[in-house]
Structure 1
């Protein structure tokens, strides 16, 4: 089974954004040592609890401190940017770190409406233009603009010997169809979607077109997972994340994920308990054997080429340990 890491660069209680970003680099190094296939870092805006607003900057830092693990954005939120600039940025990364760069492409705002306006003006209009933006970006990445079009006269320099590999990320059939029509790899966010993911992934595979990129359809399924030595320890770690997410969703001040000690002294309301049970449905929580079994079942259900794991716990040590335990159990 191929496993990879998705990092959201969480700023934990008592820690700073600088701490979070340094720990992200350490997580990538840990993943490389353990044998994870790739490390992706997400893009968020105006989230005090998440430190990565510019994945492309972090990838330069992480690439320089690793040697072989594939690294990428999960994802660059394309409606905020011009395709040519994205292509230049990732071509430069692919020049610095040959045959290691992935370019995940997403359409979510990644933050508040005000942040979206500050970034790119009319976000909804840019989303509507997303199909054209994807095609434009791919032409720049493959340097294959038709000669009768204006942009055929320019190249997204520096042009690398091996192009970044584009992945379209999504949680709906629309994203699957876009990936299939454009001939890109597809990453489905199981941990973020309430829809029939298997049907969505099957739609991608059945309608995939080879348009000059990858030869055959490739699928990553992303899942939120927390692993600890015992089921009880994993459940406590997960509860810390659940309560933090509930606070954020309510618009309450969130100073980072609460510690295990804070959670043990917290009285959960019936409303919060219902929300926790809903979130649990999209997570894998348990000891190494339990987590392995559920990951194997998930891979089989989707017939996925790879499983990507996002893990947020109240300490960077327990996050790292979760990835270590999973790797040791599976490999």
Structure 2
């Protein structure tokens, strides 16, 4: 089974945004050494602790530090932008790093209502027009506007020899249908909602329409994974992101993923303790062999041969170790 990485570029308590970026680039170079297939950067806006509003910037950095691993956005939030600008940007990246650029796309606003308003004067309309924006973007990438179209003579220069590969990301029926209609590869977020993702994946495969660039459905499932030498250590590592989720839900401004000491000292109600247990159920937590079996089960359930792994823990060393242990246990197949 192929393994890939989704990186939300999370800042940890006591660290800076600069540290988070440096750690992302370092992890990407290690991921290439360990045999991961692709490394995607998420886009967020004005969400405390998530420091990347522009995946293309980090894609450029990672591309320069690596040579084989595919690099991409997971995802560009298309309602925020004009398709022509996105096509220009990712065509440039594809010109710089041939055969290595993925262009993940999503309709999510990726931030607060105020951030959405600042990015787009009418975000609701922009989200509603996602299908039209996608069609226009694909025409720019493939240079196949109808001859009578206003943009038929317009190029999203530079035009790469091998264009970036568009993907649709989501967990909904609408995103699945959009990917299927255009014959695009599809990535579903198991870590966001396992049930809706499973339904979306099923619909995607049923409704998929082959194209000249993709003849069969291509599905990736993204899961939250915490891997350590012992179950106790993995559970301890996972608690940081779980407590952080509670903090954000309560509207508490935080400095990123809380440290071990902060999670120990944080007072939780009985209801919040139950929420933590629910959050843990959405993660794959354990030793390398345990997590391997869990991932294989997820892959079998979704009928895919590639899983994308998201690992948010406070310690960068623990995060690196989790990805290394995972790569090692799968390399033994």
Matching residue of 1:225: 225
In the TM superposition, what is the alpha-carbon distance from 1:280 to its structure 2 partner? 1.6
Contact 1:218 1:305 (8 Å CA) reproduced: no
Contact 1:172 1:193 (8 Å CA) reproduced: no
Could you give the per-residue CA deviations for residues 13-53 of structure 1, whole angstroms, max 9, x where no partner exists?
Answer: 11110110111101110110100000000000012301111
Could you give the per-residue CA deviations for residues 262-300 of structure 1, whole angstroms, max 9, x where no partner exists?
Answer: 323444321111111221221100111110010010001
Contact 1:172 1:195 (8 Å CA) reproduced: no
TM-score with structure 2 setting the length = 0.97
Could you give the per-residue CA deviations for residues 112-165 of structure 1, whole angstroms, max 9, x where no partner exists?
Answer: 000001111111100111111001001111111111211111111100010100
The reply on whether 1:99 has 2:99 as its aligned counterpart is yes
Could you give the per-residue CA deviations for residues 239-258 of structure 1, whole angstroms, max 9, x where no partner exists?
Answer: 11111111011101212222
Contact 1:228 1:325 (8 Å CA) reproduced: yes
Matching residue of 2:139: 139
Matching residue of 2:81: 81
Residue 325 of structure 1 aligns to a residue in which SS?
A: helix
Matching residue of 2:203: 203
Matching residue of 1:112: 112
Residue 247 of structure 2 aligns to a residue in which SS?
A: helix
Residue 150 of structure 1 aligns to a residue in which SS?
A: coil
- The 1-side partners of 2:194 and 2:40 are apart by 23
Q: How many residues align?
A: 331
After TM superposition, the structure 1 = structure 2 runs for residues 210-249 of structure 1, keeping only pairs within 5 Å, are 210-249=210-249
Indicate the larger mover: 208-217 or 221-230: 208-217
Matching residue of 1:256: 256
Contact 2:12 2:259 (8 Å CA) reproduced: no
- The 1-side partners of 2:266 and 2:111 are apart by 29
Contact 2:171 2:196 (8 Å CA) reproduced: no
- The 1-side partners of 2:99 and 2:301 are apart by 30
After TM superposition, the structure 1 = structure 2 runs for residues 39-50 of structure 1, keeping only pairs within 5 Å, are 39-50=39-50
After TM superposition, the structure 1 = structure 2 runs for residues 298-317 of structure 1, keeping only pairs within 5 Å, are 298-317=298-317
- The 2-side partners of 1:268 and 1:237 are apart by 17
Matching residue of 2:165: 165
Contact 1:47 1:111 (8 Å CA) reproduced: yes
- The 2-side partners of 1:180 and 1:263 are apart by 42
In the TM superposition, what is the alpha-carbon distance from 1:194 to its structure 2 partner? 5.2
Unaligned runs of 5+ in 2: none
Contact 1:42 1:52 (8 Å CA) reproduced: yes
In the TM superposition, what is the alpha-carbon distance from 1:215 to its structure 2 partner? 2.1
In the TM superposition, what is the alpha-carbon distance from 1:259 to its structure 2 partner? 1.6
Indicate the larger mover: 277-286 or 31-40: 277-286
Matching residue of 2:125: 125
TM-score with structure 1 setting the length = 0.98
Unaligned runs of 5+ in 1: none
Contact 2:50 2:256 (8 Å CA) reproduced: no
Contact 2:17 2:51 (8 Å CA) reproduced: yes
- The 2-side partners of 1:191 and 1:246 are apart by 16
Question: Once superposed, what is the RMSD of the aligned Cα atoms?
Answer: 1.1
Matching residue of 1:37: 37
Matching residue of 2:292: 292
Indicate the larger mover: 211-220 or 20-29: 211-220
Residue 151 of structure 1 aligns to a residue in which SS?
A: coil
Matching residue of 2:187: 187
Residue 138 of structure 2 aligns to a residue in which SS?
A: helix
